Amino acid sequence: MRLRLDPKSDVPLYRQLMAQVRALVAAGKLRAGDRLPSVRELAVDLRINPNTVARAYRELDQLSVLETRGASGSFVSNGQVMLSRQRREEEYRVKLREALGAASGLGIDSDLARELFDELADEFFGEGE
C-alpha cells in the first residue's frame, strides 16, 4: 500500500489518508478482506502521529470501508459497496469543478492548470501507472 501525505496541504492528514485508502479500494488495489497495516506500522511508515491513523481508520470503519477485528487488525470490509463508475465520475467532476474554480480565482490559466494537474497526478498515482 503506497500512500503519500502532504503535510503542507490544507486538507487534514487523516482526511488525506482516508481519501487515499478509499481510492485504493475503488481502484481494486485493495480488495475485500485485505489487511491494512496496523495503526503503529502505518504511523511509523508515514512519519505521522498514530492518533491520526487511528482517526482515519475509525472513520473508514464507520463508513463501512474498513472493519476492525480486534487484535487482528483492520481489513477492507466485505460489505463495502463500490460506487458505480458513473457515480465516481460524477463525484470527481464536482471536485474538479471546485479545484478549477479555485484556480481561476487565483488567475491560473487553463494551460497552467493542466500542467499542474498532470504533475500532481504523476506524484499521486506514480508515473506510467
The full set of domain ranges for the chain reads 13-76, 85-125
Q: At what angle do helices 85-105 and 110-125 cross, to 10 degrees?
A: 130
Tens digits of per-residue pLDDT, 33-61? 999 999 999 999 999 999 999 999 999 99
Closest CA to 37 of 50, 23, 19, 22: 50
Verdict on whether the full-model pTM lies above 0.85: no
For the domain made up of 13-76, give the CATH fold.
Arc Repressor Mutant, subunit A (1.10.10)
Kindly state the average pLDDT of the residues 50-77.
92
Residue 29 pLDDT exceeds 80: yes
Residue 112 pLDDT exceeds 50: yes
Residue 129 pLDDT exceeds 80: no
